[in-house]
Chains A and B, each alone.
Chain A
Amino acid sequence: MTVTLKDVDNHDLWSVDIEPRPDARPGQIMAQHI
C-alpha cells in the first residue's frame, strides 16, 4: 500500500510503500464517511 502526503494544492510531498506484516486478521469496514 502506498501512502502519499499532499498539500492543499494536491501536490505530492512524500510517499511511502508499506508492506503488511504476516498473519494479520482481515479487517472489516466499521464506518465509512464520504
Chain B
Amino acid sequence: MRPWKVIAADLSIGLVSEDAVALGDGPPQRRECEIADLLSFMKRAGIRNTVWLTADMHYTAAHHYDPNRAVFPEFEPFWEFVSGPLHAGTWAPGDLDNTFGPKAMFQKGCSAEQGENLAPCFGLQFSAVSISTAGPKS
C-alpha cells in the first residue's frame, strides 16, 4: 500500500506571486479555481495524504494547508514543499494567501538585510527535497 501521493507541480499553491497559483486572499479566482476544483475532487473521491512538490519561488519552504484556516475549505489537509530553481537569485519568503489556508512551517531565503535577488555566490541555493520512509538519516 502506498498511503502517500506525491504530486510534482511547478507553481506554488499558496505563495502570492504572478508566477504562482495564489493571487491574494479571498475565495478562489482565475487560476486558483483550477486548484480548488482539483482539491475538492480529491476530497470527494477519498484521496488523502497528498504531498505537493513545487518550485520556482527562489527560496525554500514547507507549508501545511488546513481547511480550518482556508477561505475555500473543501479539501483534505496536505503539505507543500517548495524548492528551486537550481541556480538563480535568492528571494525573501513571500506572502501566503488564505484561500487554501497555508501555514509556513519552515522557510529559508535571503533576509531583509541581505536584500532581494541575492547572487548564487552567497550560498542560498535550494533545489532538493528528499523523501524517506525509513527516517531522516537514511
Q: Is the interface of B mostly helix, strand, loop or mixed?
A: loop
Interface footprint category on A = 20 to 34
| CB proximity to B under 8 Å, residues A1-34 | 1-10, 12-18, 20-21, 23-29
- B-binding residues in A (CB < 8 A): 1-10, 12-18, 20-21, 23-29
Tell me the minimal C-beta distance from A24 to chain B in angstroms.
4
CB atoms of B108 and A1 under 8 A apart: no
Q: Say whether, besides A3-B130, A15-B136, A26 and B62 are in contact (CB < 8 Å).
A: no
Tell me the minimal C-beta distance from A16 to chain B in angstroms.
6
CB atoms of B48 and A20 under 8 A apart: yes
Indicate which residue in A1, A21, A26 contacts B133 across the interface (CB closer than 8 Å). A1
Q: Which residues of B contact A13 (CB under 8 A)?
A: 60, 106, 108, 126
Q: Which residues of A contact B133 (CB under 8 A)?
A: 1-2
Q: Which residues of A contact B124 (CB under 8 A)?
A: 7
Report Cα–Cα, A27/B45, bound state, in Å.
12
CB atoms of A26 and B2 under 8 A apart: yes
CB atoms of A8 and B126 under 8 A apart: yes
Report Cα–Cα, A10/B105, bound state, in Å.
20
Report Cα–Cα, A10/B83, bound state, in Å.
13
Per-residue 0/1 for B1-29: is the Cβ within 8 Å of any A Cβ (1 yes, 0 no)?
11111000000000000000000000000
CB atoms of B47 and A25 under 8 A apart: yes
Q: Which residues of A contact B5 (CB under 8 A)?
A: 27
Give the one of A5, A9, A16, A21 with max B CB within 10 A: A5
Q: Say whether, besides A8-B128, A18-B79, A24 and B48 are in contact (CB < 8 Å).
A: yes
Report Cα–Cα, A5/B2, bound state, in Å.
22
